[in-house]
Amino acid sequence: MTSIMSAKKRRLSSSFKRDSSILASPLLSEFSNSFVENMMSNDEKSGDEEPLSLVQSLRLRMDEMERESDKRQKAMADLPHMKRFKTKMKRRQLKQILHDMADDEVEDRKKSNKKRKRASKFLVMTSLEKSMRETVVAVVDQLGGYEIRKEVDHDTTHVVSAGKRRTVNVLKAILSGCWLLSVEWVLKSLEKGFWLKEEPFELVEDFPVAKQLREERSASPSYCQYQCKLLADIGPIFVSPCTSPPPQDIAKLIKLSGGAVSGTARRASVCIGKITAKTDGVQVSETWLLDCITQQTVLPFDEYQEKRNS
């Protein structure tokens, strides 16, 4: 029996020498020591049965350890703190996405601001439906060169209108010497891919005086400081608090026409709208002013006089 045990020990020792490369890991080396002890114990019980080779036993054990490791990782993933960790990771990723989106938005704003700085022309829309306004905005954004504004101001260059309506912006455009154009100018420019010449699209049939004042403004030494002189010799004009268009718009039109606005009816030469205060001035309706602007002449008061309120 003793000789049989010695022979098996020699076989095991030679097997370890052949598989020394596998036992390089400290973990496997420790496993090999326990393996020898188990083999010796099993030999005493099993007699002459041929044992598994070291490599086979190691592979079986490593497969078992790998399965146990997978189970542990799965169990850890289900732990509350691991779920919180995953949630934090998702939040971080979401924050990063939002941060990147914000950076893109800032970059777009910078590009938009640069485009605005380059814009030397300013466009106002009037009498357009919502869908058409959106179209004009899209075309301006695509072709560039213009900045869209809500109301006609001293530096407005173009006003786009859809019809014959005598809106406040149309009247301001006439008095300011702006290009008063049909919306077809925008649509045809979109088809060509660049801004077309304005002359063919001027609303000369509806507002013939617009071209006259535009040419005067173009010939003026200071383009942005052009001033119409239509009402320069009329004297102070008082505006009733109840007018249509609103009194602030009426007052603006008077100033653009070269007139002076009076704060009291008593000192006014002309009173626009219905008033109750005593005055020696002529009392006329708002239509008088609007007609004067579209015809570019000071019309007689007779047809526009308002009845005095007692």
Q: What is the pLDDT of residue 100?
A: 76
Residues 185, 252: one domain? no
Beta strands in the chain (DSSP E): 121-126, 146-149, 158-161, 179-182, 236-239, 260-262, 270-272, 282-284
Domain presence at residue 225 = no
How far is the C-alpha of 233 from the C-alpha of 116, rounded, in Å? Answer: 39
Specify if 6 maps to a domain: no
Measure the CA dihedral 23/28/29/31, to 10°. Answer: -140
Asked if the structure places residue 97 within a domain, the reply is no
Do 248 and 197 fall within a single domain? no
Same-domain status, 214 and 263: no
The amino acid at residue 3 is: S
Domain final residue, candidates 159, 191, 219: 219
CATH number at residue 278: 3.40.50.10190
The verdict on 125 and 199 lying in the same domain is yes
What pTM did the predictor assign? 0.62
- Does residue 247 sit in the same domain as residue 291? yes
pLDDT value at position 116? 46
Residues 213, 249 within the same domain: no
Residue that has been written with the tokens 């905005």 in this structure:
137
Which pLDDT tens digit goes with each residue over 132-170? Answer: 999 999 999 999 999 999 999 989 999 999 988 999 999
Torsion of CA 87, 88, 91, 96, to 10 degrees: -140
185 and 141, same structural domain? yes
Number of domains in the chain: 2
Q: Cα–Cα–Cα angle for 255, 257, 260, nearest 5°?
A: 40
Tell me what pLDDT residue 5 has.
47
Q: Kindly list the distances between the CA atom of residue 216 and the CA atoms of 211, 221, 227, in Å, as whole numbers in the listed order.
A: 9, 10, 10
Same domain, 206 and 142: yes
Is 179 part of a structural domain of the chain? yes
* Residue 200 belongs to some domain of the structure: yes
Average pLDDT, the chain: 81
* Single residue among 173, 189, 219 that ends a domain in this structure: 219
Residues in the chain, pLDDT under 50: 4-5, 8-9, 12-13, 16-25, 27, 36, 43-46, 48, 116-117
Predicted local confidence at residue 83, as pLDDT: 55
Q: Which among 181, 193, 203, 182 is positioned nearest to 139, based on CA atoms?
A: 193
Residue-wise pLDDT for 43-72, tens only, equals: 444 454 555 566 666 777 777 888 887 777
Calpha distance 296→230 (Å, rounded): 7
In a domain, 194, yes or no: yes
Domain assignment present for residue 103? The answer is no
Structural domain contains residue 111: no
pLDDT value for 17: 46
Locate all alpha helices (DSSP H) within 50-129, ordered by sequence.
54-77, 80-118
- Among 166, 188, 219, the domain-final residue is 219
**Structural domain boundaries enclosing 193:** 121-219
Are 200 and 262 in a shared domain?
no
Rounded CA gap, 7 and 39, in Å? 13
pLDDT at site 257: 97
Structure-token pair, residue 195? 């801004």
Same domain assignment for residues 128 and 209: yes
Q: Kindly state whether residues 242 and 215 are assigned to the same domain.
A: no
Burial class (CB in 10 A: 0-12, 13-18, 19+), 159: buried
Domain shared by 247 and 212, yes or no:
no
| Residue 241, token pair as written in the block | 């608090």
